[in-house]
Structure 1
Amino acid sequence: MPRGKVVAHRLEEERAVIVTAIRDTDVLPLPPGADDEATAIVRALYTDGITAKKGAFSRELAEGMREDIEAAFEEARSRPGGAVGRGPKRWYVEIHPEQLRAFVEIVDHPWFRKVCESVLGPDYQIVEVGFDIPFAGAVNQPWHRDFPMPETTRREGRLTSLAFNLTAVDTEEDMGPFEIAPGTQWDWSEAFGHEMFPPKPLYPRYQERAVRKYPKMGDISARSALTIHRGTKNESQKSRPVLVIGVDAPGAGNAEHHDLAVTKGYWAQLPQSVRDHLVCPIVDELTPITQKHSIEGLVMGEAE
């Protein structure tokens, strides 16, 4: 699989130094026999760092997803460690697959599978299921990526994980839309806080590239979680729940940061095409997940 040429460039912006890996995008890491759709997917994720499929699912599926998210959030908030703050009035909760009635339909969708196979290879692994909810009063998050850049990505310019997002509502301008800075998945600097948060002198770089996203119910996106992004201020009186599904290439190692599990009965009902990509314990009874994403809360501020 060709990886293309990777060149490190040093950029100086307001006395901060950032190193960004620039790929030769004419030589993409395409899977054998890639068709036009696969090529477009890989190109988008290696250049902009995000791609999407409009109307992949029905609005009914999205409505059911919202009901499941609301139920899971109520349960999570009833116990210590069930939800973690990602800034004022903004929460993240990780759940088990069977808490989401549409889980199989989502991860077995042809576009979902094609994105995973094209970027992460045929043996991709589903390692995370969760959701973010910014409520009324949520503020702009600091620019960030979701975890430190892996050495493989930094050395070789190769993506080893993806995050899929599905909105449970139609996103409007005043609801604090997701904002992303295309092409910044390769940015790296020793000045990044916790290896995730660019220092404020670098903010102009992300602000001038920023693109706001307004997905509708039924849409799905895939992005590199390394691409610098943030949630924006929710000026409405509505919440904006978004499902998150994290997927790894073999050996990426993100599964150790999550506690995904399925019961034996649920596992027995799964199609083989889904079982092949779930690397998690099979248990008699599910244990509610205690959230591990503490760094975001420390940097972004308390949720309440």
Structure 2
Amino acid sequence: MTSGDEAKAAIYADGITALRGAFGVAWADAMREDIEAAFAEAIDRPGGAVGRGPKRYYVEIHPEQMRGFTDLVTHPWVVAVCTAVLGPAYEIVELGFDIPFAGAVNQPWHRDFPMPEATRTQRRLNSLAFNLTGVDTTDEMGPFEIAPGTQFDDSPEFGHGMFPPKSHYGRYNERAVRKYPQRGDISARSALTIHRGTANKSPWSRPVLVLGVDAPDATNGDKHDMAVTRPYWESLPPAVRDHLHCPVVERLTPITQKHTIEGLVMGEA
């Protein structure tokens, strides 16, 4: 099988897969610098950063705010996974990052949005989230925790279609796997797979880049407002422009976050 086929099989089986060492440490360090610069700008304006729990934030950015954007979206593994899972007309709809700081607490088990009908009725996954860490993750930093094989879990008891009730937690606790990505690694997952951030007991933040990609029939792009300036658009290779369906503007406007997840604001109750 090709790497895309292997990744698709893993995502349909477990909800997540990864490629170790996709980029060098220096590339990952530059990514973190760009994340920290964007966070410093966003945290000081209304709607610039949204809470995903105590001491935990999400910020969406424009492609131009990340020096390695083109490197990422043209990486052969990323292209292969997107094509295999979402089809050749996939669309890049989100670029952002999560930062849990020291003192962040366990999130409740959740998925990032309600299950779409394509998944419920056809068992077809029509979106992907790629994650890249800005640090070498340790257990003290509150690593990402995921319950493999839960991307198709469906119950009317899920709050807002996203939050399983505590009576379901036994299943997720039994399956729970903590992930310890290192700088340069890439993971790809269905954001429907039940997951959570865990408590950051270290003195350091754990920034993680998020790249969101949709199949043509998905609607996650409605929650995001990425744009590019004309000179930047013209500098992009056709292989990027073909998948980047966003406005081309004369001047970038800072993004006001739309993708709030109200159930995460308080952390695990």
Residue 174 of structure 1: SS of its match in structure 2? helix
Q: Matches of residues 259-298 of structure 1 in structure 2 within 5 Å?
A: 259-294=225-260, 296-298=261-263
Q: Which runs of 5+ in 1 are unaligned?
A: 1-34
* Alignment partner, residue 64 of structure 1: 30
Separation of aligned partners in 1, 2:137 and 2:105: 16
1:301 matches 2:266: yes
Separation of aligned partners in 2, 1:37 and 1:74: 37
Separation of aligned partners in 1, 2:2 and 2:32: 33
Per the TM alignment, residue 298 of structure 1 is displaced from its structure 2 partner at its CA by: 4.4
* Alignment partner, residue 57 of structure 2: 91
Separation of aligned partners in 2, 1:293 and 1:114: 27
Q: Note if contact 2:5-2:81 (Cα within 8 Å) is conserved in structure 1.
A: no
Among 78, 98, 102, the residue aligned to 1:132: 98
Separation of aligned partners in 2, 1:230 and 1:144: 6
* Alignment partner, residue 9 of structure 2: 43
Residue 17 of structure 2: SS of its match in structure 1? strand
Residue 65 of structure 1: SS of its match in structure 2? helix
Per the TM alignment, residue 244 of structure 1 is displaced from its structure 2 partner at its CA by: 0.0
Residue 141 of structure 2: SS of its match in structure 1? coil
Separation of aligned partners in 2, 1:148 and 1:121: 22
* Alignment partner, residue 156 of structure 2: 190
* Alignment partner, residue 172 of structure 2: 206
* Alignment partner, residue 168 of structure 1: 134
What do residues 170-224 of structure 1 show as CA deviations (whole Å, max 9, x unaligned)?
0001000000000000001111111101011100010000000000000000000
* Alignment partner, residue 143 of structure 2: 177
Separation of aligned partners in 1, 2:185 and 2:263: 31
What do residues 107-152 of structure 1 show as CA deviations (whole Å, max 9, x unaligned)?
0000000000010001100000000000000000000000000011
* Alignment partner, residue 196 of structure 2: 230
Moved more, 38-47 or 242-251: 38-47
What TM-score, normalized to structure 2? 0.98
Q: Note if contact 2:224-2:259 (Cα within 8 Å) is conserved in structure 1.
A: no
Greater radius of gyration (CA): 1
Structure with bigger RCO (C-alpha 8 Å, 6+ apart): 2
Per the TM alignment, residue 38 of structure 1 is displaced from its structure 2 partner at its CA by: 2.6
Aligned length: 267
Per the TM alignment, residue 299 of structure 1 is displaced from its structure 2 partner at its CA by: 4.0
- Paired letter, 2:225: D
1:158 matches 2:124: yes
Q: Root-mean-square deviation (CA), in Å? A: 0.9
Per the TM alignment, residue 253 of structure 1 is displaced from its structure 2 partner at its CA by: 1.2
Residue 139 of structure 2: SS of its match in structure 1? coil
Among 96, 100, 104, the residue aligned to 2:66: 100
Q: Percent identity?
A: 68
Separation of aligned partners in 2, 1:117 and 1:43: 13
Residue 255 of structure 1: SS of its match in structure 2? helix
Residue 126 of structure 1: SS of its match in structure 2? strand
Separation of aligned partners in 2, 1:238 and 1:108: 31
Separation of aligned partners in 1, 2:240 and 2:253: 22
Per the TM alignment, residue 36 of structure 1 is displaced from its structure 2 partner at its CA by: 3.6
Q: Note if contact 1:167-1:215 (Cα within 8 Å) is conserved in structure 2.
A: yes
Per the TM alignment, residue 41 of structure 1 is displaced from its structure 2 partner at its CA by: 1.0
Residue 186 of structure 1: SS of its match in structure 2? coil
1:112 matches 2:84: no
* Alignment partner, residue 12 of structure 1: none
Residue 185 of structure 1: SS of its match in structure 2? coil
* Alignment partner, residue 5 of structure 1: none
Separation of aligned partners in 2, 1:164 and 1:221: 5
Residue 92 of structure 1: SS of its match in structure 2? strand
